[in-house]
Structure 1
Amino acid sequence: MGKNVTFRNDGGRELQTVRLHGRVDVRTVGDLRLRLHTAIDCGRGRLRVNVAGLELADQAALGVLLGGVRRARRSGRSMVLVDVPDDLGRLLSANRLGRFLQVEDADLFHVGHA
C-alpha cells in the first residue's frame, strides 16, 4: 500500500492530496487505516484522497474510508474521494454511501477565480 502526499494552496485555503494505491482486503486494511489517519492528523484544510490505484478485494476499505470522513470532520477538515474506480463507485452506490463520502473527478480541481 503506497502513499504520495502533496499540499497546495487553493485560493487562501490549504489543500492536501493523498494518493493511495494497492490491494485492500481484510489483511491489508490496517495499513490503509494507518496511512489515511496519518494524512488526516498531519495536515490541515481539505483532504483529497485519490483512490484510483486502490484494488478492492472486499468491502473492508469502505469502513476505513467512512471512518476517515468522521476523523477528518472531528479535526475540522473535509475529505473527498478523487478518481474513484468503477468497482468502488458501485460499492458506494449499492450501499448508499454517497451521502457520507463525497466524490469528485481529479480533472475538476480548480485553483483561483473562474
Structure 2
Amino acid sequence: MRGHTARDQVTATMDVEGITLQGSLGVATAADVRALLHTAIDTGSGDLVLHLGEAEVEDATGLGVIVEAHRRARRAGRQVVIADATPRMRRLLRATKLSRIIPTAPVAEAVAVAGPVPA
C-alpha cells in the first residue's frame, strides 16, 4: 500500500462564489470531495459553481466525482457549472464530450450565472 503524498491532497473552500478546489482530485481524495459536493448540492439552491483553476483531475475517479455531482445536481433541480477550468481540464471535458452536458465558464461569467449564494 502506498503512502499519501502532497499530490494526494485537495483543499476545498466554499464561499458565495461556489466551491474552489485546489490540488489533486483523484482516487485518494475522491471521498472527501464527494461528501463536500453532496452537502453543497443538498443544502443549497441555484447553480453550484465549481472553480477548478487550481485543481488537477488526476484519474477517472476524479472525473467521476464531477460527473456524479452533475447528476445529483440535476436530480435536485440544480446545475453544476465549472469555472476557470485549466486548459487540460477543458480538453478532458471536450474529449469525453462532457462539455456538452456540464457548462463551463470563466470566473466572472460563472458568478453572474449563479448569482450570490443566499445566507
Q: Which TM-score tier does this pair reach, normalised by the shorter chain?
A: 0.7 to 0.9
User: Which protein has the bigger strand share?
Assistant: 1
Deviations 1:69-95 (A, max 9, x none): 111111111110000011111111111
Contact 2:50 2:80 in 1 (8 A): yes
SS at match of 2:34: helix
Task: Give the Cα–Cα distance (whole angstroms) in 2 for the partners of residues 85 and 73 of structure 1.
Answer: 24
Aligned-residue sequence identity (percent) comes to 34
Match of 2:12? Answer: 3
Match of 2:54? Answer: 53
User: Which protein has the bigger helix share?
Assistant: 2
Superposed CA RMSD in Å reads: 1.6
Runs of 4 or more off by more than 4 Å in structure 1?
Answer: none
SS at match of 1:44: coil
Unaligned stretches of 5+ in structure 1? 8-15
Contact 2:51 2:85 in 1 (8 A): yes
Unaligned stretches of 5+ in structure 2? 1-9
Contact 2:57 2:63 in 1 (8 A): no
Write the letter of the residue equivalent to 2:66: L
> What is the TM-score normalised by the length of structure 2?
0.77
> What is the TM-score normalised by the length of structure 1?
0.80
